[in-house]
C-alpha cells in the first residue's frame, strides 16, 4: 500500500515527535516501504542575515544534518530503506516539494496538542494536509 513514507522531524525536538517517529517506522516496516526523514532549516530573513556571522546559515545547516544523522541512526530500518533529507526554506513548502519529488505515498506528521488559536492543527500541519497530493497522517504527541 505504501512504498515511500515521508516523516518530517525537527531534530531539536525529537521527543515531541517520538510517537510520529514510532508510527512512521512501524508503517515502513509493515509495508516494506522506504522512510524519508526530512528536516527543514528555515531561511534567515534579511534582518537576521545581517546580525549573524556570514557563514551562520551554512554552519546551521551542517549542524542540522549532523543531528538528523543521529536521529536516523536510532531508526531501526535497514540502511537501504532509510533516506535522510535536509532542506532550506519554509517547512510546509519543503515537505510538499519533497513529497512530490520523491513520489511519497504517505506523510506522517507530528502535531502538538492544539491551542485555541490552532483550532485543530498547527499552521505547518494544516498547510501540508490541505496541499499534499498524498495521504497525510497527523500523529498527536
E runs forming strands in the chain? 4-8, 34-41, 82-88, 106-111, 135-140
pTM recorded for the entire structure: 0.86
Give the domain 4-140 fold.
Rossmann fold (3.40.50)
CA end-to-end distance (rounded Å), the chain: 25
Which residues partner with 36 through β-bridges? 6, 83
12 vs 88 pLDDT, higher one: 88
DSSP annotation of 77 reads S
Strand order in the sheet with 4-8: 82-88, 34-41, 4-8, 106-111, 135-140
What residue ranges do the domains of the chain occupy? 4-140
Tens digits of residue pLDDT in 9-57:
988 888 888 999 999 999 999 999 999 999 998 876 666 556 766 777 7
120 Cβ partners below 8 Å, 6+ apart? 114, 126
Give pLDDT, residue 23: 97
* Cβ 23 vs Cβ 2: under 8 Å: no
Which residues on neighbouring strands pair with residue 35, listed in sequence order?
Answer: 5, 82
The per-residue pLDDT for range 128-140, each reduced to its tens digit, is: 989 999 999 999 8
Amino acid at each position: 500500500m505504501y512504498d515511500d513514507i515521508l516523516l518530517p522531524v525537527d531534530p531539536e525536538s525529537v521527543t515531541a515527535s517520538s510517537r510520529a517517529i514510532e508510527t512512521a517506522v512501524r508503517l515502513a516496516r509493515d509495508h516494506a516501504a522506504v522512510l524519508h526523514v526530512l528536516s527543514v532549516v528555515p531561511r534567515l530573513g534579511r534582518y537576521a542575515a545581517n546580525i549573524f556571522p556570514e557563514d551562520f546559515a551554512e554552519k546551521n545547516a551542517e549542524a542540522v544534518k549532523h543531528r538528523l544523522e543521529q536521529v536516523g541512526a536510532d531508526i531501526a530500518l535497514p540502511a537501504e530503506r532509510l533516506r535522510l533529507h535536509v532542506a532550506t526554506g519554509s517547512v510546509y513548502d519543503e515537505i510538499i516539494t519533497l513529497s512530490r519529488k520523491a513520489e511519497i505515498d504517505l506523510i506522517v506528521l507530528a502535531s502538538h496538542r492544539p491551542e485555541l488559536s490552532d483550532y485543530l492543527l498547527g499552521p505547518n500541519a494544516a498547510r501540508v494536509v490541505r496541499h499534499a497530493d498524498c495521504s497525510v497522517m497527523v500523529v498527536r504527541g
